Amino acid sequence: MTDPELKPDESPVGGEMSRRRLLGLGASAGVSALAASTGLRAGPAAAGALPDGATSTPAVRAQAASFEGPHQAAILSEPTAATAFVAFDIIGQDRADLRDLLRTVTMRMRRLYAGGLTENLGPASPQDDNGVLGPAPPSRQVAFMLGFGESLFDDRFGLAHQRPAKLTRMGTFPNDNLDPAQCHGDLSLQICADDMDTVLHALRDITKHTRGGMQPRWRIDGFQSPPRPAGTPRNLLGFKDGIANPATSDPREMESLVWVKAGAPEPEWTAGGSYLVARVIRMLVEFWDRVSLDEQETMFGRRKATGAPLDGNDEFDTPLYGANPQNTTIPLNAHIRLANPRTPATASSRILRRGYNYDRGIDLNGNLDQGLLFTSYQQDIERQFVATQARLIDEPLVDYISPIGGGYFFCPAGLDGAGDYFGSTLV
């Protein structure tokens, strides 16, 4: 598929919110997660599913994704080396403002994905591009995932009757320590790339062209560690993270676990979309680093060095507790056993999990502020994420992690051609 022609006049007033709307919308704080499908530099096609649904696609070469198609294809991409997850509050006053905003966001995503020489708008005008990537940003180097928060469907835009059936405001689970300033939002936008400057280039471009239309509410930057020494990357507790995942190469798995199906109770426009859960999970690394290796492995249910389950030899070995529930080589309260019991009754609660590490320096008490940006995609938040989280309540690991933020969002389907924009069938 070729990139669409990208010209400044293909969106309201030169590809940004119109001057009338900019002046009329005002300024207020807020955030929501906004995500759209694009893709990174094209890499070799995945060679097929590995054991337990792992994929051979390198993390730094997320699958090539386009804007057009039945789904936001970047949802299925492997995590990249760098990301920013930003939630926004919408400032617009009516549905026309919202429509302008969504058109503008989609247009800028297309332009950033296409790359190439930037527009010269004249000596008295601001530059069309911020120049962070040089005079000609490379093409196909950035991916987006866009989502709508539950608060978008309040009374402001007359969309209450169009709210996705399973979209709610994220509640507080036992063991959470949520900061309201780092939760929820009208829109979510996750920007992914191989390099952090590419992520920041895209973030600055989108916020510049939507100023007056939406305002960042909270943001977290993440990174994916390279495999050490091989296999699945590690989190900041030192364990391989996300070994067991549904196979993205299996359309039947994706249809049953990730993509929303057409038909009641879901509004028609939600077909082909997916529910997104974002969780900012702080890791109390100073305390964790004082725990013995044996106790750490017992809490996770895996070997720290290899990622293998405690009853196996390789990270992709299937734990045996599914066939033998009384086998306690992996403790009954181990993280991997609670998260995925591997029983027929829990098979439908599996999620497509994506994780990024984060490091935000130190807190006011001088403690390291590090942790995990957890995201997951699922067909039904209650059936999948909430059911999984309920099994993890009071697991031994909760003494060393503290969920502090996040939200629930709905990622709409892909675009129907080069002239389409995200939310066109909603607004």
What local confidence, expressed as pLDDT, does residue 65 receive? Answer: 47
Cβ atoms of 64 and 165 within 8 Å: the answer is: no
* CB atoms inside a 10 Å sphere around CB 20: 11
Cβ atoms of 301 and 310 within 8 Å: the answer is: yes
How much helix, strand and coil, in percent to the nearest 5, is found in the chain? Answer: 25, 20, 55
What local confidence, expressed as pLDDT, does residue 7 receive? Answer: 39
What local confidence, expressed as pLDDT, does residue 269 receive? Answer: 97
Task: Give the span between the Cα atoms of 355 and 225, in whole angstroms.
Answer: 10
What local confidence, expressed as pLDDT, does residue 80 receive? Answer: 94
Q: Write down the pTM of the prediction.
A: 0.86
What local confidence, expressed as pLDDT, does residue 104 receive? Answer: 97
**50 DSSP assignment:** -
What local confidence, expressed as pLDDT, does residue 39 receive? Answer: 36
* CB atoms inside a 10 Å sphere around CB 26: 10
Q: Which residues of the chain have pLDDT under 70?
A: 1-66, 322-324
* Nearest residue to 34 via CA among 63, 72, 66: 72
What local confidence, expressed as pLDDT, does residue 105 receive? Answer: 97
Digit-coded pLDDT (tens) for 85-120: 999 999 999 999 999 999 999 999 999 998 887 777
Query: Residue 151 — φ and ψ, nearest 5°?
Result: -70, -15
* CB atoms inside a 10 Å sphere around CB 236: 17
